[in-house]
Amino acid sequence: MSQPFDYSGRSVFVAGGTSGINLGIAQAYARAGANVAVLSRNQAKVDAAVAGLSEHGGSVLGFAADVREFDAVAAALASARDRFGELDVLVSGAAGNFPALATTMSSNAFNSVIGIDLLGTFNVLRAGYDHLRKPGAAVITISAPQSSIPMPMQVHACSAKAGVDMLTRTCAVEWGTAGVRVNAVIPGPITGTEGMMRLAPTPQIEQLVTDSVPLARYGTAQEIADCCLWLSSPMASYVTGALIPVDGGWSLGGAAQMFTEMRRVVDNPDLLAGYGSSS
Ligand code: COA
Ligand code: NAP
């Protein structure tokens, strides 16, 4: 398909952009001509992502930092702005997840997911705001169906992503007069990702997921990226504060159905090993 969006000379920062969906987003902007910066904790993942993104011809920057550490996030964003100029697009997608019951999850385990997903998103948006092009910048948070659908073994992610949705909508309200749009993309089950490997680790559970999606398949990182390319373009100039599912219709009810299978685990904790969880 020919490139429908031209981001030549634009600057894009993707927090958590070194693997999975977020890397797919970073790649899509790079292919569309943007200068792209990515950030995550693992230096080897950052280096690999930078090497791959550089093949598209734009400038690429990588930062090894934890989104829970405000000063490190702020330094990375300031550095990207120094190199690229004001940021046109800021994507916040770093997240952590594992299946675990609320009754056995430790306080620190709950806090780790709240810290990465919710505090991390706040840090990225808070530190990023000063470096955004005003007017004109677009901010995109990466949420999840858990933000509105209660799911067993997801008390941490449900709580964190619900917070991400409200953070997104609140910033949209506060930043609108500065000409900054803030929206969330809510991916459904995306093929080949760490997230789905953790939540649907067996072929049987994968099939349950597929069966519970109205479009009857997993989505791709490219399909999430396509929505981001549109959302940060002039084609979406009147869209802000929106929470947009890109999920094959999964959030219409299927997501909850799929997790009915997981509910069996609540009554049979011995089954939890099958979901790759430790407690
Ligand atoms: N079940 C229950 N508790 C778990 C767990 C699991 N599968 N995995 C980790 N924890 C607990 C740990 O035991 C620890 O709690 P404790 O101190 O009471 O023992 C707490 O979570 C924090 O673990 P730690 O490994 O120190 O956290 P971290 O901040 O280094 O890593 C995670 C964060 C746990 C979310 C890790 O899985 C991660 O880095 N994930 C990123 C990739 C990912 O999740 N991708 C999918 C995105 S949707
Ligand atoms: P992934 O590949 O594990 O991506 C997570 C990214 O965040 C990685 O680059 C990871 O790199 C980084 N990261 C994790 N913790 C971090 C931290 N503390 N600080 C900085 N970076 C950190 O997962 P994914 O499955 O593609 O998920 C990507 C996003 O989509 C997440 O927001 C997730 O909630 C959302 N989502 C996914 C699905 C799905 O089907 N997979 C569905 C709905 C929503 P490092 O390990 O190097 O830090």
| Residue 276, in any domain of the structure | no
Residue 269: what pLDDT? Answer: 66
Q: 187 C-alpha vs ligand 1 centroid, how far in Å?
A: 21
Using the mean position of ligand 2's atoms as its centre, give its distance from the Cα of residue 16 in Å. 6
Averaged pLDDT score across all residues of the chain: 94
Q: 């620190």: which residue's tokens?
A: 108
Output the ligand 2 site: residues, CB below 6 A. 16, 18-22, 40-42, 45, 66-68, 93-96, 116, 120, 142, 144, 187, 189-190, 193-196
Q: For residue 279, what pLDDT is reported?
A: 44
Ligand number nearest CA of 223 is 2
Any domain includes 260: no
- Does residue 101 form part of some domain? yes
Question: Is residue 275 assigned to a domain?
Answer: no
Residue 268 lies in a domain: no
pTM for this prediction: 0.97
> What's the gap between Cα 181 and its chain centre?
17
Whether 208 is covered by a domain: the verdict is no
- The pLDDT of residue 278: 44
pLDDT digits (tens, 9 = 90+) for 200-251: 888 888 998 999 999 999 999 999 999 999 999 999 999 999 999 999 999 9
Residue closest via CA to ligand 1's atom 48 equals: 195
User: Is 266 part of any domain?
Assistant: no
Would 273 be classed as within a structural domain?
no
Side-chain half-sphere of 181: how many Cα atoms within 13 Å? 21
CB 33 within 8 A of CB 10: yes
**What pLDDT was estimated at residue 271?**
67
Atom of ligand 2 nearest to the CA of 24: 26
Total domain count, the chain: 1
Mean pLDDT of 160-187: 99
Q: Are 216 and 153 in contact (CB under 8 A)?
A: no
Q: Is 66 in the pocket of ligand 1 (CB under 6 A)?
A: no
Domain CATH number, residue 121: 3.40.50.720
Range of the domain at 119: 11-194+221-249
Atom 14 of ligand 1 has which residue's CA nearest to it? 109
Tell me the per-residue pLDDT of 121-150, one tens digit each, with 9 for 90 and over.
999 999 999 999 999 999 999 999 999 999
Q: How far is the CA of 101 from the centre of ligand 2 (A)?
A: 21
d(CA 50, CA 45): 9
